[in-house]
Structure 1
Amino acid sequence: MSLFSSVKEALTAEPSAKSRPDDGSEGAYWCDDCDVRVRDVDLEGEATCPDCGEEMRFERSSGRSCAC
């Protein structure tokens, strides 16, 4: 396989398994004071920051390429 073929295959390949998981997540909760992020599917109970105990705000994910 030539270098050109390798580059072409990499550029035209479908997204890898590193795409956003399809586990029902709608977004994440953020603590603006501590910069802590907790995905909604990982949260148990109230949306409070595990570091400072303040209420966290919800931010909805926006597409498959989101870092959430």
Structure 2
Amino acid sequence: MGILGTVSSALSASADSTADAAGSDSKGAYWCDDCGVRVRDVAVDDEGLDRGGDGTPLCPDCGDAMRFERNHADGCAC
């Protein structure tokens, strides 16, 4: 495979992974402002995060409640 084929293949794989992420049911992500930890809302249960009394995920590093943030500017909740 030549250089053009390699670059084309890499760009195609990148576009596929972006499309998969954008096609999910994600509405945003939970952030810990102190630790910088970020977990997408659709991955909270998979990550096994504990939840506070109000259902908000707790940071796995410090145990504080995480902040929910949405970013729909580019169609991606990331």
Indicate the residue corresponding to 1:58 in structure 2. Answer: 68
More strand by share: 1
Q: Whose Rg is larger?
A: 1
Query: Structure 2, unaligned stretches of length 5 or more?
Result: 9-13, 52-56
- For the aligned residue pairs, the C-alpha RMSD in angstroms reads 2.5
TM-score relative to the length of structure 2: 0.57
The Cα shift of 1:16 comes to 2.0
Larger helix share, 1 or 2: 2
Task: Tell me the percent identity.
Answer: 51
1:1-68 matches, cutoff 5 A: 16-17=15-16, 18-19=18-19, 20-44=21-45, 46=51, 47-62=57-72, 63-64=74-75, 66=76, 68=78
Deviation at 1:61, TM superposition (A): 2.4
- Give distance in 2, aligned partners of 1:67 and 1:60: 6
TM-score by length of 1: 0.64
Q: List 4+ stretches of structure 1 deviating above 3 A.
A: none
